[in-house]
């Protein structure tokens, strides 16, 4: 009988799977591409279809379908297993307990159950008539509502929480999923003090690129001073990061690849209206500017993007920021322009006349052409001041273009338009590069090179790495150190997963058995972790006795503790300042008490 992993591999073609993330080209019996895990000019990333493996000869990473998705999506092995099992239609048998133990998987199950609850309530319950009337007025068909699993929750305090508890989910997982809020003094035994985050709202499930429901957006039907705003989103959880989710991508990605174009609009209703009208390569950044992470998601399926900016100032500003980030990532960016005064967004335009929307997308203008048209149309070319103002606006946008030939062509066009020597503009671009034009957020998350090169290790990270590198060479020292170890020392480091495994092995075997650690790492596709630690250069450990090694490790751990206290102290002090500004005395007192116990 095949194992879970083999059964999944037998049903999923690795070329098709990896081809959803990067563009593969045939190379003999193999397929090749530029590696998604490091920056390179010539492709060294190879996929062998028959053996169902991949390997990069540039950065030495490689493996199977599980290791690929772990690497590119940041999942652990069990999460990757669950993801591909669902896709392959394989029922997990041998790893069932591990899947159930994963809080990430439990939260995904909770979100799925909540989506069913909201949708069923919308379709079947008389109390949802107001929501049904609202969507009817918005011209959504029943088929569309079912396809997008739109739902409704009435304005009751804990209706969803009670439903999910009866389904067997734990209250702490409901809180971790962002669906339930815990009041101070809440009592888990009686269930009092817990209430629903979403009340009296039309609910839109938010899915990742694979169709997993990771969160929700709720639109209030009747706004009051206590409703908490027109829109409420799931807060950040272990499965939902707003900056990494594009609404509708799971439904649009196939069409984006087929048309080699993604269309980006502002809100959920814009996406749903477009899909209902027959344009199915449309996604939304949900009311915010496109983030670098979202741009990278889009680039998996096409390098071309057309963006619709909402007519209001906030929409225009967010659209420009998103366009700038997409340009910096090398995407071909166009701007969709609706006839002036015709409609404020895609949804309104489609309601009035779908043909106008389709025509606007088809005639979208290149983003730099759009900028030039808007800025240069009113410039007095005989006024040095106005020319300088135009250059101040346009030059940073041109500088975003990562390709030298294209960038230089736009500098020539700007020079011709304003009667300025292009050489002067080139010098301005060079000076601008010394004072980076990108926002700090863009710089940090850029993937022009591996993150290990971009992000300089902090002193704390180095101490933690040294600790583990030393410990795997002297695993018998773990027993003496274990009472002093705390999970918080490793939570925000690259070694958090290793600590959890080491703790599990120690508790099961009363010693840190590296063979057992290696076995668990291998199941997660991370067997190289121990080898890397063993290979890390350190002091000449062969000269250390077990006693000396224990003392050295205790010394490193002591410095980790001290550094952690300093970092945590700074975090608490910052939170105290924020609480004081908010005049939140209870929080201030709690934080001061925590500060004193450090």
What is the full per-residue pLDDT of the chain (598 aa) written as tens digits? 357 788 898 899 999 999 988 889 998 889 999 998 888 888 999 999 988 999 998 899 999 999 999 998 877 888 788 888 888 888 877 666 665 567 888 999 999 999 999 999 999 999 999 999 999 999 999 999 999 999 999 999 999 999 999 999 999 999 999 999 999 989 888 878 999 999 999 999 999 988 999 999 999 988 777 677 889 999 999 999 999 999 999 999 989 988 999 999 999 999 999 999 999 999 998 767 799 999 989 988 899 999 998 766 566 777 888 999 999 999 999 999 999 899 999 999 999 999 999 999 999 999 999 999 988 887 888 888 788 888 888 998 999 999 999 999 999 999 999 999 999 999 888 876 655 433 333 333 333 333 323 234 577 878 888 888 888 888 999 899 989 888 888 887 777 788 889 999 989 988 999 889 888 888 876 666 776 566 454 554 555 677 888 888 899 899 898 888 888 888 888 888 888 888 888 887 887 887 777 7
CATH assignment at residue 360: 3.40.1360.10
What per-residue string of b and e applies to 365-376 under the rule 16 or more CB within 10 Å gives b? bebbebbbeebb
Is residue 245 one of the residues assigned to a domain?
A: no
The long-range contacts involving 336-342, CB below 8 angstroms and separated by at least 24 positions, are 336/263, 336/306, 336/307, 336/308, 336/309, 336/360, 336/361, 336/364, 337/363, 337/364, 337/365, 337/370, 338/308, 338/311
Same domain, 483 and 543: yes
Is residue 274 one of the residues assigned to a domain?
A: no
Same domain, 171 and 236: yes
Q: Please state, in angstroms and rounded to a whole number, the distance separating the CA atoms of residues 551 and 160.
A: 53
Same domain, 107 and 221: yes
Q: How many domains does the chain have?
A: 5
The DSSP annotation for 293-333 comes to HHHHHHHTT-SEEEEE--SSHHHHHHHHHHHHHHHHTT-EE
Same domain, 433 and 475: no
Q: Which residue, chain included where needed, has tokens 């949900």?
A: 286
Q: Please state, in angstroms and rounded to a whole number, the distance separating the CA atoms of residues 308 and 284.
A: 10
Same domain, 186 and 222: yes
Is residue 164 one of the residues assigned to a domain?
A: yes
CATH assignment at residue 108: 3.90.980.10
Is residue 508 one of the residues assigned to a domain?
A: yes
Same domain, 505 and 525: yes
Of 337, 366, 395, the one marking the end of a domain is 366
pTM of the complete model beyond 0.85: no
Its domain, for residue 53, covers 4-96
Helix (H) / strand (E) element for 72: namely helix 65-73
Say what the pLDDT of residue 142 is: 95
Q: Under a CB-based contact definition with an 8 Å cutoff, are residues 35 and 449 in contact?
A: no
The DSSP annotation for 173-203 comes to HHHHTTSEEEEEEEETTTTEEEEES--SEEE
Is residue 230 one of the residues assigned to a domain?
A: yes
The long-range contacts involving 409-417, CB below 8 angstroms and separated by at least 24 positions, are 410/368, 413/372, 414/372, 417/372, 417/376
Say what the pLDDT of residue 115 is: 98
Same domain, 566 and 468: yes
CATH assignment at residue 78: 3.90.580.10
Of 32, 64, 96, the one marking the end of a domain is 96
Same domain, 417 and 474: no
Q: Under a CB-based contact definition with an 8 Å cutoff, are residues 54 and 45 in contact?
A: yes
Same domain, 118 and 235: yes
Is residue 109 one of the residues assigned to a domain?
A: yes
Q: Please state, in angstroms and rounded to a whole number, the distance separating the CA atoms of residues 424 and 412.
A: 10
Same domain, 170 and 216: yes
Neighbours of 113 (CB within 10 A): 19
The long-range contacts involving 502-506, CB below 8 angstroms and separated by at least 24 positions, are 502/478, 506/478, 506/479, 506/482
Task: State both tokens at 60.
Answer: 């030495």
Is residue 74 one of the residues assigned to a domain?
A: yes
Same domain, 558 and 477: yes
Of 42, 75, 96, the one marking the end of a domain is 96
Q: Please state, in angstroms and rounded to a whole number, the distance separating the CA atoms of residues 261 and 365.
A: 14
Same domain, 153 and 196: yes
Is residue 142 one of the residues assigned to a domain?
A: yes
């Amino acid at each position: 009988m095949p194992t879970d992993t083999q059964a999944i591999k037998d049903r999923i073609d690795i070329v098709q799977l990896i081809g959803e993330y990067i563009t593969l080209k045939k190379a003999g019996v193999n397929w090749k591409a530029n590696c998604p895990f490091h920056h390179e000019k010539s492709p060294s990333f190879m996929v062998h279809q028959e053996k169902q493996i991949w390997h990069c000869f540039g950065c030495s990473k490689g493996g199977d379908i599980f290791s690929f998705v772990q690497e590119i999506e940041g999942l652990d092995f069990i999460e990757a297993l669950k993801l591909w099992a669902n896709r392959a239609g394989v029922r997990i048998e041998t790893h069932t307990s591990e899947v159930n133990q994963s809080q990430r998987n439990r939260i995904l199950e909770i979100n799925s159950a909540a989506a069913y609850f909201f949708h069923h309530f919308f379709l079947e319950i008389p109390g949802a008539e107001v929501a049904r009337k609202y969507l009817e007025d918005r011209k959504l068909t029943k088929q569309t509502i079912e396809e997008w699993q739109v739902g409704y929750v009435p304005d009751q305090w804990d209706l969803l929480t009670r439903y999910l508890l009866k389904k067997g989910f734990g209250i702490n997982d409901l809180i971790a999923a962002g669906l339930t809020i815990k009041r101070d003094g809440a009592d888990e035994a009686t269930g009092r003090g817990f209430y629903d985050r979403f009340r009296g709202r039309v609910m839109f499930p938010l899915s990742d690129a694979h169709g997993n429901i990771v969160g929700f957006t709720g639109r209030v039907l009747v706004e009051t001073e206590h409703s908490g705003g027109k829109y409420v989103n799931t807060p950040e959880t272990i499965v939902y990061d707003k900056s990494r989710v594009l609404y509708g991508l799971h439904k649009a990605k196939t069409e984006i690849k087929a048309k080699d174009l993604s269309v980006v609009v502002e809100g959920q209703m814009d996406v749903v209206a477009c899909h209902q009208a027959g344009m199915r390569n449309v996604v939304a950044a949900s009311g915010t500017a496109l983030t670098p992470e979202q741009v990278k998601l889009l680039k998996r399926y096409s390098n071309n993007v057309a963006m619709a900016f909402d007519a209001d100032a906030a929409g225009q500003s967010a659209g420009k920021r998103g366009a700038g980030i997409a340009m910096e990532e090398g995407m071909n960016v166009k701007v969709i322009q609706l006839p002036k005064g015709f409609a404020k967004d895609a949804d309104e335009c489609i309601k009035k006349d779908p043909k106008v929307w389709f025509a606007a997308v088809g005639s979208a203008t290149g983003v730099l052409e759009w900028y030039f048209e808007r800025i240069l149309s009113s410039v007095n070319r005989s006024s040095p001041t106005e020319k300088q103002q135009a250059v101040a606006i346009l030059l940073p946008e041109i500088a975003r273009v990562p390709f030298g030939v294209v960038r230089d062509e736009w500098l020539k066009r700007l020079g011709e338009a304003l009667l300025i020597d292009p050489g002067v503009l080139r010098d301005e671009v060079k000076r601008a590069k010394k004072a980076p034009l990108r926002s700090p957020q863009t710089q940090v998350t850029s993937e022009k090179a591996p993150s290990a090169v971009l992000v300089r290790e902090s002193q704390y990270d180095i101490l933690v790495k040294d600790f583990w590198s030393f410990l795997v060479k002297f695993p018998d020292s773990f027993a003496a150190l274990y009472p002093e170890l705390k999970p918080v020392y490793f939570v925000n480091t690259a070694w958090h997963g290793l600590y959890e495994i080491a703790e599990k092995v120690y508790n099961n075997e009363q010693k840190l058995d590296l063979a057992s650690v290696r076995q668990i790492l291998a199941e997660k596709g991370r067997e190289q972790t121990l080898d890397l630690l063993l290979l890390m250069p350190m002091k000449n450990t062969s000269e250390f006795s077990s006693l000396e090694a224990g003392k050295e490790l205790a010394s490193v751990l002591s410095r980790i503790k001290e550094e952690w206290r300093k970092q945590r102290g700074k975090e608490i002090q910052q939170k105290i300042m924020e609480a004081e500004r908010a005049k939140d005395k209870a929080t201030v007192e709690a934080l001061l008490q925590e500060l004193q116990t450090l």
